[in-house]
Each structure stands twice: as C-alpha cells, then as structure tokens.
Chains A and B, each alone.
Chain A
Amino acid sequence: MKITTAQYAKSLYEATAEKSEQEVDGVVKNFLQVVIKNRQKKMLPKIMEKFSEMWNKNHSTVDAEVISRSELTADQILKIEKFIKEKYAVSNVNLKKTLDAKLMGGIIVKAENEITDISLAGRLSSLKNRLSK
C-alpha cells in the first residue's frame, strides 16, 4: 500500500514528540532512510509542510509574516503578535519579519492563507480600482 504524505508526517511527529535533540537526530536519520528506501524522496517537501502544519496545530502555534517598510519597534511587534494570537486563538506566534520599501507605509500581515493589508500601497491600489470604475 502506498503511504501518504499525511501518514509520513504523522509518524515523524509521533516519533519525535518529547525526545531530546540528540534522539531527534537519530530519528530523523532513520526516517529519511525509510523514505528513500520507499523511493518517495519527491514527497519530502510536502511531508515537511504537513509536519509543520501538524506541529503548529498541536503546539497552538501559528506561522505568520509581517511586511513593513522599515524596521518595526519591539513594542509594535508585541502588539502585532498579540493581534495574531487573539485572531487565531493560539498561544505562540512564529513571526517572520520582512522589509519592503514598496509598501510606503503601514504593514501587511500574512498568516494561514490569509492576508490583512493595512499598507499605504494597498489602500492606494483599492482607491485606484474604485476611481477607475
């Protein structure tokens, strides 16, 4: 029977749960050997995706990205994290910070297939759409 990516991810998660770092190293090595032996190396990117999804779910974590024009202050980042935690009802946030000068001002928050655009560039483009109608 074919093993699906979800099954791989689940077994990897279960095998690594509550293990020390050294143990995890061994488990991951074995896991990779099994995948390669089954000639399913191609599935690895998807397995990684599923694994992180599963890990996030069980640890009440969400991966998020915040894009801003310039470096955000610690206070601002705290506020953004609080916003995300409330919105997705999670206790931890993995926040990735990106800089993009094209935004002009404001921020864009990306999390879980969703995007909250409160940047100046985004508002200008929606104004443009409105006026061109």
Chain B
Amino acid sequence: MNKDYIVEQLKKQLENFESTSQTEKVGVVVEVGDGVAKISGLSDVMSSEMLEFPEGIMGVVLNLEDGQVGAMILGSYEGIKEGDVVKSTGKILSIPVGEAMIGRVINPLGQIIDGKGEVVTDKFYPVEKIAPGVITRQSVNQPVQTGIKAIDAMIPVGRGQRELIIGDRQTGKTAIAIDTIINQKGQNMKCIYVAIGQKESKIARIVAELEKKGAMEYTTIVVAGASDPAAFSFIAPYSGCALAEYFMDKGEDVLIIHDDLSKHAWAYRQISLILKRPPGREAYPGDVFYLHSRLLERSARLNKDFGGGSITALPIIETQGGDVSAYIPTNVISITDGQIYLESDLFYKGIRPALNVGLSVSRVGSAAQTKAMKKVAGKLRLDLAQFRELEAFAQFGSDLDENTRKQIERGKRTVEILKQGQYAPMAMESQVSILYALINGFVDDVAVEVLKKWEDDFHKYFKSNAKDVLDLIAEKKELSEEVVTKLEKAIKEFKEVYQAA
C-alpha cells in the first residue's frame, strides 16, 4: 500500500459520493434517564425501529405512546440532552453477519471490540426474528458431544436442543459451557458465547483460554459487559442468535451459550421500569416469560428441505441460594428441553462437575445419543440411583451383606469416575471405554483413593497401545459383539500391565 493508492481510493469514493437531499422524520428528546429517552414527534416511527441520536449514537424504539415514543439508547447517553434532534432511520435493528465474525469478539451491535481490525460483511440479519415454524423443523437426531462424561452419558444433548445449565454462583456453570466449546473442535460446529453483564476480566480469561486451546477458530464471543448500558445486555442474546441464524441458514450446526439469562432478565427489568411499564412478580414486567421463550424458541433443528442446520442453545441461569422456584428459573426450566442442575454442596465435597444427577434431565437428547453410549449409560444411571439409596449406610461398611456392600463400593467408584477436571473434555470413545470398564466390574478391585491415577493411566494406555479399539468405537458408534470382545481384551491387558508395574 502506498500513498498514491490511498489518494486514488479517496478520489474514487468522492466521485461516487452523491448527497441527495431527502426529507427525514425527526423528533425531539423531551426526557432522558438511565439509558432510556422519551422523544416527541417522530410520527410514523415503527416499533423496534433504529433511531439516530446526535453524534451517531443509535437507539431502538420500545414504546409507542400518545404523542411520544420511548426508546432505549445503545451507547453512552451522557451527551444526550433535552431538545436534541432524533432522526428515524426506517430500519429494524439488525447486525452485520458473516464468516468474518468467527474468531472475533464483538459487541451486541456487531462491532468488533477485540482491537484486531475491522471486518467487512455485506449481510445484515435482524436482531429480533420470529422462530422457525413447525414445518421447517425435525426432532433432534445428532448428539452434541460436551466432552463431559457425566453429561454425555446421563444427560445427553442433541443438536437443536435447548439445555439449561442452572446452579448457584461458583458451581462451575461457565466451566461446563467452556469445556463444551473446547470439545467442539473438529465436530463441525460453530460456537457463539454470549456474555451478558459479565465481568470484563472473566471474559478476557475465557477468550485467553479458548485461544490457548485453539477453540477461537470456530467461536465468536458477543460481549455486553457489566459496565455497558442495560440496553446492550438486553439485546446481546438476540444479536448472538441473529449471528447463529446466519450459520443455520447455511445448513451448519451452531452452539450458542447465553451466560447468563438471569442478568438478561435484570437488564430488561431495569429498562422496563424506567419506561414505566407496570411491574409484576419480583418487579419483572409482564412479558418476561415471552422475553426468554421467543429467544430460546429460535434454537431449532431444521429438516433437510430447509438446509438441515441447527442451533443448540445452552442458556445459563444463576439461582440465589439454590432456589429454583424463583420466577426466572421456573420460567426458563419450563421453556427448555431439560436442565443440568449444579449444586454447591457437591462442589465443595469435591465432586466436580457438581452435577446433581437426580434432578438433571434431558427430555429429548436420548434420541440423539450414540448407541455405544446408550448401552453403558443405562447401567450407569441404575448404579448411581441404587448407590444414592444406600449411601446413608455407607458409613457402617462392616455390618452389611455382601450384595449391598458391593453396590456401595460400585457407587463410590462411579462417582469417582464421573469426576472430571476443567478444560479436560474427553472424546466419546474414551468415555465409552472407561464407562464400560466401570459398569462391568473391571474397576471394582481398584481402591477408590488411587482411582483417578488409574483412570489417567487407563486412557494413556488405550491411546498408545489400543488405539485400534478406540478408533473402532469412534467409527461404529455402537458396541457390537466384535467391539466388545476387543474392548474387554484391551481392558484385561491393561490391568495385567498395570498390576505388573
């Protein structure tokens, strides 16, 4: 690039520049308060139309009232004063979308905020859109591999499903979501992480971690930080969804994570109260259910005739003191196709991910589970359920009959095997092999204290010495006669080697 080129470009731009005088509808600001403005004038303005405040700040019409409109301001509202002229644009709020957005950090208006240069896209998608209808959909038939043993085995998630992650603060909700993103490498999945009202430091940490694991190659992060206006937090999930829809319309599979929808509801409550909409339960406005249902309904599995793309949503809800019967948690639980319930008690006991297997369900995901996983998962659930019943007796180990003692021992090992570190997602074939070893009693003679080490060695051995078995499971995706024999042989070989060492 040289000087002449730039000058030439400038000349070209100037030549093409035509300023046509057109009449614009305008209004005047009469009231500004905390990110919301009341504007008089603006006849013929549409609901959710974009407005232009002075100095290029954008706004969105939310309320159409008698003689005035209520609008939220997308940007810093400090400079806006009474009497400012507001222009209507005639456009519904939309964001730029395109392949170039992948690997970037954007704000809810689609502007790049990672400082790595602008992107040029030619397509715009509306932020608010009606969800795909019945005829365009089909039921889930392909799994999302989260890479977390407990989830993939017992709470399977399918592509196009909406699975809620719910729990108190500090129970590892975001960790599950991030692990899931990391595990999508090579799974033909685009990921979108929407941070709503999150601390900027936390977002920076997540971006760094994803970059380290090479997950930013297929991930976009939409950020509405804690210091951004509430209007940003309000539109962030819809913007993320608009970007996801772009990929879905191209027939691709997308995973979108809304972290978290409680803060989204708070932002909407703030805007609604300033707009003087009447408050209801917990001071949320009356349409707070629709706020989330219209968002999550946009996740879908399209059928072949409509491109076959999908959007899988993992919304996150933070409960206060384990109270899932509060307003927002109950709403979102009823909207989603199941929930992953995390408990702080389990977390402090050292069971991480702190999954409450009894309360977590997936209503549609089992249809998408691989056959191999289904086979091991059934027994696993049973083992755990029996263990929970007998857990109370576990303290008086010596007085029990043989059968009960066995079940308790098995349960302890099951819990131990289902523990998994952060940023360490596991491939489906590895999960199947270790769970197969577990439910068929190959682990019963290993002490619980050394089980973690044993499992690590187990995976190491399989990856180096029994790669063919793993490949076979990954390829066939079911435990046929042939696979089982090979798998058992490999497990026995490993145990011999382990004992000898």
* A residues in contact (CB < 8 Å) with B: 87, 110, 112-118, 122-123, 126-127, 129-131
Contact = CB atoms under 8 A, between A and B. Distances in A.
B21 A116 contact: yes
Nearest to A110: B26
Contacts of B41: 113
B25 A118 contact: no
Nearest to B14: A127
B366 to A, nearest CB: 49
Given A113-B41, A130-B13, A118 B21 contact: yes
A114 B24 contact: yes
A115 B23 contact: yes
A115 B28 CA distance: 12
A113 B43 contact: yes
A117 B52 CA distance: 15
A114 B22 CA distance: 10
Contacts of A129: 56
B155 to A, nearest CB: 46
Contacts of A114: 23-26
A23 B271 CA distance: 50
Contacts of B24: 114-117
B13 A131 contact: yes
A126 B23 CA distance: 14
Contacts of A117: 21, 24
B19 A126 contact: yes
Contact of B27 (A87, A113, A116, A127): A113
Contacts of B22: 116
29 contacts: A87-B23, A110-B26, A112-B43, A113-B25, A113-B41, A113-B42, A113-B43, A114-B23, A114-B24, A114-B25, A114-B26, A115-B23, A115-B24, A115-B25, A115-B26, A115-B85, A115-B87, A116-B21, A116-B23, A117-B21, A117-B24, A122-B19, A126-B19, A127-B14, A127-B17, A129-B56, A130-B17, A131-B10, A131-B13
Contacts of A130: 13, 17
Contact of A123 (B19, B23, B26, B43): B19
Nearest to A87: B23
B21 A127 contact: no
Given A113-B41, A113-B43, A115-B85, A127 B19 contact: yes
Contacts of A112: 43
A129 B17 CA distance: 11
Contacts of A118: 21
Contacts of B10: 131
A95 to B, nearest CB: 17
Nearest to A123: B19
Nearest to B22: A116
Contacts of B13: 130-131
Contacts of B26: 110, 113-115
A81 B14 CA distance: 33
A118 B20 CA distance: 8
A131 B15 CA distance: 12
For the complex of A and B, list the 5 residue pairs with the smallest distance between their C-beta atoms, beginning with the closest.
A118-B21, A123-B19, A113-B41, A116-B23, A115-B26
A112 B27 CA distance: 10
Contacts of A123: 19
A130 B56 CA distance: 12
Contacts of B21: 116-118
A114 B26 CA distance: 5
A116 B24 CA distance: 6
Contacts of B56: 129
B406 to A, nearest CB: 71
A122 B42 CA distance: 20
A48 B336 CA distance: 54
Nearest to B41: A113
Contacts of B42: 113
Nearest to B45: A113
A115 to B, nearest CB: 5
Interface string B11-50: 0011001010111111100000000000001110000000
Contacts of B85: 115
Nearest to A116: B23
Most interface-central of A115, A116, A127 (chain B CB within 10 A) = A115
Nearest to A106: B21
A97 B64 CA distance: 32
A116 B87 CA distance: 11
A87 B17 CA distance: 26
A123 B43 CA distance: 24
A112 B17 CA distance: 29
Nearest to A130: B17
A117 B26 CA distance: 11
A20 to B, nearest CB: 33
Given A113-B27, A115-B25, 10 more contacts: A110-B26, A113-B26, A113-B41, A113-B42, A115-B26, A116-B24, A118-B21, A126-B19, A127-B17, A129-B56
